Structure 1
Amino acid sequence: MSDLRIRHAASSDIDTVLRFWRDAAEGTSISDDHDGVARLIARDPEALLLALRDDLLVGTVIAGFDGWRCSAYRLAVHPGLRRQGIATALLQAAEQRFAALGGRRVDAMVLEANERAHHTWAARGYLREDHWRRWVKPL
């Protein structure tokens, strides 16, 4: 995918990212708003990775690291461009970031009902741990 470029998101990308997630991501989160994404970028300017083709947003992943555990969120690819290696390129960039930061394990949050996404993660070598259940509380 020589025409694909991966870069970090900037504040000027927030509205574009939010529109993209409404079309490409499965489900939404309480933090999927301008302030939430702005806080992410301010706290960790390299966490939100964007995949661009011809300067158009075609994919995203949040590659967060808290100093102990690596977390991947919001892996999303434009519905009309799936199965073209965009998710793989984004995950490779995230994994390179994690390795450079000294990360040793990646946790990926994937919706239970998103079977297509499960195949993507499994193809990259991620293992599903059904014995863990996440408990979430909005603040």
Structure 2
Amino acid sequence: MNIRSFQLSDANGVTELLAAALSEDCFENTMGPFARQLSWDSDLIMVAEQDGELIGALIGTIDQNHGCIYRIAVHPDFRRQGVGKALVKALEQRFQQRKVRGVWVAGDEHNKAAMPLYEAMGYGASQVMKAFQNLSILAHS
């Protein structure tokens, strides 16, 4: 498995992965923030690939010098194999390089299924941002 930053050639593959891994409602709510983050800083979108196939994606952002893990998606055939953990670790390294003051997890209804992963990686309740309406990645423009 290879974890790397998003590349423009990944656009269709990531869109297909998000559609396969997320609920329809979550997918619809994710596409706008995904596009905004691509236009700002695609280095904060991490992808996992195996044998040339995209099997996971993680959308992160930095807002007011805080890192935010916005959305994670792992293809159903590759869940519980360490893909999500590897994606989070890669994004954490990116945040460290950027010297963010802290890291938050977006605690919306669509991230409930991923909360055990975040908790196992040390993200406690104090790092789950429940009210993130002002997060720039979500701003409608």
- For Structure 1 versus Structure 2, the TM-score category normalised by the shorter chain is 0.7 to 0.9
**1:41 aligned onto 2:38:** yes
Measured after TM superposition, the shift of residue 125 of structure 1 is 0.3
- What is the CA–CA distance in structure 1 between the aligned matches of 2:50 and 2:69, rounded to whole Å? 22
Q: CA RMSD in A?
A: 2.6
* Matched residue type, 2:31: D
Higher alpha-carbon deviation: 59-68 or 90-99: 59-68
TM-score (norm 1): 0.81
Aligned length: 134
Measured after TM superposition, the shift of residue 124 of structure 1 is 0.5
Structure with a larger share of its residues in helix: 2
User: Is the Cα contact below 8 Å between 1:9 and 1:50 reproduced in 2?
Assistant: yes
Residue ranges of structure 2 left out of the alignment (5+ in a row): none
Structure with the greater alpha carbon radius of gyration: 1
What is residue 83 of structure 1 aligned with on the other side? Answer: 80
- What is the CA–CA distance in structure 2 between the aligned matches of 1:106 and 1:79, rounded to whole Å? 26
* Matched residue type, 2:86: A
Percent of pairs with identical residues: 30
User: Is the Cα contact below 8 Å between 1:52 and 1:58 reproduced in 2?
Assistant: yes
Matches within 5 A, 1:1-139: 4-26=1-23, 27-30=26-29, 32=31, 37-66=34-63, 68-112=65-109, 115-129=112-126, 133-134=130-131, 136=133, 139=140
TM-score (norm 2): 0.80
